[in-house]
Each structure stands twice: as C-alpha cells, then as structure tokens.
Chains A and B, each alone.
Chain A
Amino acid sequence: MFFRDQGEMLPPRTAPITEVGLVGWLRINLFSSYGNAALTLISLAILLLVVPPFIDWVLIKAQFSGDSGEACSGIGACWAWVDQRLGQFFYGFYPAEAHWRVNVTAILLVPAILYVLVDNMPGAKFGRWFSYVYPLLAAYLLVGGFGLEVIQTDKFGGFMLNMVVGLTGIVLSLPIGVLLALGRQSRLPVIRLLCIAFIEAVRGVPLITLLFVAIVLLQLFLPPEVSLDQLLRVIIMVTLFASAYMAEVVRGGLQAIPKGQIEGAQAVGLGYWQTMRLIVLPQALRISIPGIVNTFIGLFKDTTLVIIIGLFDLLGHARLLQTNPDWIGDVDHEAYLFSAAVFFLVCFLMSRYSVSLEKQLSKDRH
C-alpha cells in the first residue's frame, strides 16, 4: 500500500533542532547566510577587541584610593579623585552645609514632575498645585532669603547647574513656545509674521551666539542702573532659545488636531482663547509630550555650553580637575568619562521614557 488510511494521523514531530531553541535562535539571528555569518564573526571580533580592554582599564586595573595623582598607576583608570571631588561635581561651589537644600529641591522635583506627567496619581488635585508652586519653592530653597541664608548664584555649579539651567529653561519656554506656536498659526498677518521671524531667527543661529549675547550684549541693552545676575542672563537666553524649538514641537501637536474639534468648539459658541484653552491645547500638548521631552534632552545636553562663558557645570568641574596641580596629567580621561556617564544615564532614561510615551500615544490613537 502506498497510501495512508484516511483516519490515521501522523503524530506531531518536534520542530527540527535547527529552528528552535538556542541553536535555532543562533541560526536565524546570527548565521542565516554566509554573509551574515561573516558579519557576526567580524562583530564578535570588534567586541572582543574593544570591550575586555576597556573593562580591564576602567575596573580591574583601576586605582580607587589615593590623595593625588601620584597614587595613579598609569596602567589602569584612576578613580582616586572621586571621593574628594564628587561634591564639587554635583554641587559646584555651593556651601557644603547647605547641600541639604539642593537635595531637598531634587527630591521634591520627583513628585512635581510625576503630578504633571502621570494621570491618576493619588491626590492629583492637590498635586497639580504642588507642581505649579514647585518652581518658586525650588528658587527659594536654592537661592535663599526669608530666613534661609542667601547663597549667590555664582556658587551654583556642577551637575546642579546643568539641572537648574535646563529645567528652568524648559519650564519657562513652555508657555512662550505655546504662544509662539499659536501665533504662527494665527490668521492675523502681523502676529504670524513676527512669530515666524522670531522662531526661524532663533533656530537659525547656534546657542553659543545667544550665550554671547547674554554675556556681552544684554547689559548693553539695559539701563546702566539695572544689573542682572549672570545666571539669570544665561537663563533668559536659554529660555528664548528653547521656546523657539518648543514652538515647533507644539505646532506639530496643533496640526495633528482635526479641524472638526475647532469647528465643534466654535459651533457651541466658544471664542478663540476658550477654544484653544479648553479644546485644542489640552489635546495638542498631550501629543507633544514626547517632543517636549526630546527638546529637553537636547537642551539639557546644551547646558554644558555654559563653560564657554565661564560658568562651571559638571563638565566645567571635570576640566577644572585637569588643571589641578594634584591631579594634572593623571586623570585626563577619567573625569570626562565620569561626566559622560552621568549625562548618559539621565539622557538615556529620558529618551526611553519619551519612546515609551510615543508608543502609548500611537496605541491610544488606533
């Protein structure tokens, strides 16, 4: 008989070993063809060439204790400076006995951000107000006054300076950016023209030129008796810079709102500002959050530019360490590596958050 009985079924066979399990995964993902196998081997070779020596240098052969560059062996990384300098890297020259103020500000930042970004937080109604008040609270804690010892802003430095400039810039630029974005869409020709001119002019020049404006020109523009704090001047220019980018992000959100929403609002008799405030902006800003986070990441990285105008942020203190007689020539790479790791950690986490938010938004829409 060369045919099988109709009722008889073959027992299921296990999948071939080349298709499932570890071997299958390897075959599909790494060795699916000769070309792919070659690529895999080349990649492995590169990894082997780079990763083990790097780990060896950073950790295994590294020197972790010592008081000066003399303790550094030269064959591995030298982390001996970290325990001395960690405070400066994070707080700059902010007085040590007042570090708690920075810490409290940083800790309070967490709920302030959560209440803005996450829905359904317990106590949301109170929390929103806390978020709105937080910037004032932070300014009070950091600068002082009203019972707290006043600390001049030129003592601000290290990573804290990056956070202060970046966060203030982004928070202040949001309302300006929204207005600019609305103005760019406006039916009034003069308003539209002015907004486009501002946005394109700011986006067309590098941040560094605006920082130069902050340092050498802003004082020229004001009456001689007005003297602005240097940090304040930097924050003004950073805010103007960020608001142009913010405007473009918000414009993207505005354009995504279907026209029917605006027509619906007009049909029930809402005016322009009511339509925007109650109908359009809540939806548009929601869509724009990933873009806003990305703008913040960009701005946050750009805060390192303050070293060009003589402020000492995290990167500034890394550079300062190079010129310190105790450490000169011994820790050229380590301090930068450390700063890079800090920035990477913060920016990477934020970009992951922005990506997950984008996924969530596109899921909600379908």
Chain B
Amino acid sequence: MAAPPRTRIQQISYLWTDERLRGIAFQLLVTTSLALFFAFIIWNTATNLKHAGLASGYGFLQDAASFDINQRLIDYDSTSSYGRAFLVGGLNTVLVAVLGIAAATFIGFLVGLMRLSSNFLVSRIAAIYVELTRNIPLLLQIIFWWVIILALPRVRDSISVGDVLFLNNRGVRMPQPIFEDAFQFVLALIVAGGIGTFFLARWARKRHELTGRTFPVGWSSIGLIFGLPGLSMLFLGLPISLEIPLQGKFNFEGGFNVTPELIALWLALSLYTGAFISEVVRSGILAVDKGQIEAARAVGLPPGLRTRKIILPQALRVIIPPLTNQYLNLTKNSSLAVVIGYQDIVSIGETVLNQSGQALEVISIYMAFYLTLSLLTSLLMNWYNKRTALVRER
C-alpha cells in the first residue's frame, strides 16, 4: 500500500524529526548565541575602556617598567621594558617549576616505594606524610615554610652547614661554581657522550633483537657521559672551582644567595606534589599484573632485572600520563608565589597591572603563557602515548 502524499505542513514538520537537520539547527543556534554573547562582552569592554580613557593593545610592553626584580635569571634593571619584566617572570616560573618537578619526582618515587614496603613503620610514615600534605591547602603550606625560613637566625648568626652552606632569614647562601674557559671542552665531551650513548643503545638493542647477545649499555654510558669528561678534567687541571661564601659582618662575600621565597615555594611545591606523585607511582606499580612478576621469577630473572625489565616498563606506562598531569599542576600551582612575593609571571604581571592599568592585556598574557605550557605538555603526552601504544602492538 503506497503512503498518501504528504501535505506541505507535514513535510515541514518532518524536517524537525530529521536528526541531522535538527543537529545543524541546534549548532547554528548555539553558535549564534555565543557570537551574540561575545559581541555583547566586546562591546561593553570597548565602551568601558573608552569611558575610563584607557588605550588597549600591547604597545605598553615597550614602556620602561621602572620597578626592580631581585630574583632574575637574565639581565634586567628598572629601565628595562615591561616585556622584559614578563620574560624575567616567565623564566622564574620555569625555574621553580623545573626545580620543583625534579624534587617532587624524587620524593614521589621514594615515598611511593616506601608505602609499598613490607616494613610496617616505613609504610605508615609514608602514609602519614601523604595524608598530611595532601589534605592541607598548598597556599597554607607555602606560607608556613616561608614563615619558618623567615624565623631563621639573622645573617650574623647564620646556621652553617659544614662551613660551605649558610642558612639565615635571607635564605641560603651557597657556594658558586666558577667555570674556566677550558670547561667548555668538558661540556662538549659530555654532550658528545650523551649522543654517543643514544646511538650505542640503539645499536645494542638491534643486536639484542637479532642475535640475543647483550651489551652492558648502562656501564658504558656512565663511562661515556661521566668517565671521559671526568678524565679530561683531570688532564686540563680541574677547570672548575667552587667559590665558597665567606661570612662577613653584615653580609656574605662570594657564593650566591637563594631567596627565602624561592626556597619556601620550592619546598612546598615539591612536598605537596610529591605526595600526589607517590600515589600515582603506587597505583602504577600495583597495576602490574602479579602473574607478570611470578612469570619473571619462574624464568629465573634476578630481582634487579625483574624490576627493570618487567615491572618498571609496565608500571611506567600507567604512571607517565598522570605524572605529567602532576607536573602541569605543579607549574600552575607555582602561581601561588604571588602570596609570598616570589617574582614569577603572575606576581610581576600584578605589578605591571597596577602600574599600567592594562588589565585585559596582562591577564591575556598569563593565560597565553600557561596555555602554551599545557598545550606543549599534552602534545608531548600524545606523542608518548602513541609510542607506547606501538610498543604494545608489537
């Protein structure tokens, strides 16, 4: 039986039941309302800015900053531009993030293994540390460490650690390594050693796959990266020396000072993120199938090889994605530095904002900075995931 021809109204109402058309209509609706919303915001912003007599645009970045930054990795003085100030701040963020990531990884792996220890006391102490640091706001911890460092004795009564390191309420005075020109040769050797190790490892892996013969890559890489440069240093007459700080009446001579802010931020970030990383590590190791370890034992792999060849490669595949997430968290959390006055990008941006009034521009710089970092990390992450996925297929 043929269906009766549809009337025009029916045809139009059937359009609504067509899922594809409905989808397009819905998306158009959302896009239009979003566009209207943004137009509303932009129009408001433009009117408000005109009303306040503020010029928008990034031209102000060339103006002289006229404030000082104590903590800096590159040359900067108060005649430098706002743009340069942002660069200094960004580098400071990167500095504390890199230091923090290194320490947090170390703490995380150590504590993660401690929690899995069969020793009751050791695993308990690790658990207490994790619960304590995870459940207290990071901001509070940062302030707490800062207060503790500021309560250290004055410079005159510095606590000396073996007469090379001095703790006082202005931070830590550390010996400064001084490199002579010949050290560049050593540095070149270290880099060459690294590249050599990379190719050696590739060659050894290929040979292992083809013939089954192993090659002591670990030992030879230590020899290449540390041994040869070390020997060359002896021949060149030690082109590196340490300038040990000398305690003067009011301040130290020589060495370099690490500010209390950097230390407090670094301590708090590493301890806090370390606790989270330890949980990541623990669950990663627990995720390795018990049968894998038993099988490894059954084919007679010694404990060291069992960890290196069986447990770690599988655990790392679980660990790495949340680990990078934690690294990213640490980097973002370093923005709390503004509370204790560590001059990271947010803290410097705040000063710039107060001086120039360019709120929109300053905050867009913040966001661009952090978004770039996250984007880079997630790109790296995708690349890693793809690589491990390939390995899994083989």
Contact = CB atoms under 8 A, between A and B. Distances in A.
Given A190-B30, A206-B333, A351 B134 contact: yes
B122 A39 contact: yes
Contacts of A328: none
A208 B336 contact: yes
Nearest to B135: A347
Nearest to A29: B120
A348 B23 CA distance: 45
Interface stretch (A54-62, A169-177, A303-311): A303-311
Interface in A244-284: none
A194 B117 CA distance: 46
B121 A351 contact: no
A348 B135 contact: yes
B346 A203 contact: no
Given A187-B23, A220-B44, A208 B119 contact: no
A213 to B, nearest CB: 6
Given A191-B27, A315-B143, A319-B143, A208 B346 contact: yes
Interface stretch (A13-21, A103-111, A144-152, A335-343): A335-343
B231 interface: no
B370 A209 contact: yes
A221 B45 contact: yes
B27 A212 contact: no
Interface stretch (B46-54, B175-183, B201-209, B222-230): B46-54
Interface string A170-205: 000000000000000001111100100000110111
Give the interface size class of chain B. Answer: 35 or more
Given A212-B363, A301-B138, A351-B134, A40 B121 contact: yes
Contacts of B138: 301
B338 A308 contact: yes
Given A190-B27, A205-B366, A220-B49, A336 B359 contact: no
A344 B360 contact: no
B48 A208 contact: no
Interface string A119-149: 0000000000000000000000000000000
Nearest to A346: B135
A304 B139 contact: yes
Contacts of B158: none
A56 B280 CA distance: 35
B359 A188 contact: no
B366 A209 contact: yes
B95 interface: no
Nearest to A339: B140
Contact of A47 (B41, B118, B125): B125
Contact of A46 (B45, B125, B141, B338): B125
Contact of B119 (A39, A340, A348): A39
B338 A208 contact: yes
Interface string A318-349: 01000000000000110010011001100110
Interface string B100-135: 000000000000000001111110010000011011
B48 A220 contact: yes
B90 to A, nearest CB: 14
Contact of B122 (A40, A223, A304): A40
B3 interface: no
A43 interface: yes
A188 B44 CA distance: 31
Contacts of B135: 297, 301, 343-344, 347-348, 351
Contacts of B134: 347, 351
A333 B147 contact: yes
Contacts of A308: 336, 338-339
A194 B30 CA distance: 10
Nearest to B373: A204
Contact of A315 (B48, B120, B140, B366): B140
A348 B140 CA distance: 16
B119 A220 contact: no
A36 interface: yes
A340 B45 CA distance: 41
Nearest to B339: A308
A332 B346 contact: no
B144 interface: yes
Given A301-B138, A315-B143, A29 B374 contact: no
B336 A305 contact: yes
Contacts of A315: 137, 139-140, 143
22 contacts: A36-B119, A39-B119, A39-B121, A188-B27, A200-B378, A204-B370, A212-B350, A217-B363, A219-B48, A220-B45, A220-B48, A220-B49, A222-B44, A301-B135, A301-B138, A305-B139, A315-B137, A340-B144, A343-B135, A343-B136, A347-B134, A347-B136
Given A39-B119, A39-B121, A216-B359, 16 more contacts: A29-B120, A32-B119, A39-B122, A43-B122, A43-B125, A188-B27, A190-B31, A200-B374, A208-B335, A208-B338, A224-B48, A301-B137, A304-B137, A307-B139, A343-B137, A347-B135
Interface of A: 29-30, 32, 36, 39-40, 43-44, 46-47, 187-191, 194, 200-201, 203-206, 208-209, 212-213, 216-217, 219-224, 297, 301-302, 304-305, 307-308, 315, 319, 332-333, 336, 339-340, 343-344, 347-348, 351
Interface of B: 23, 26-27, 30-31, 34, 41, 44-45, 47-49, 51, 117-122, 125, 131-132, 134-141, 143-144, 147-148, 151, 332-333, 335-336, 338-339, 346, 350, 353, 359-360, 363, 366-367, 370-371, 373-375, 378
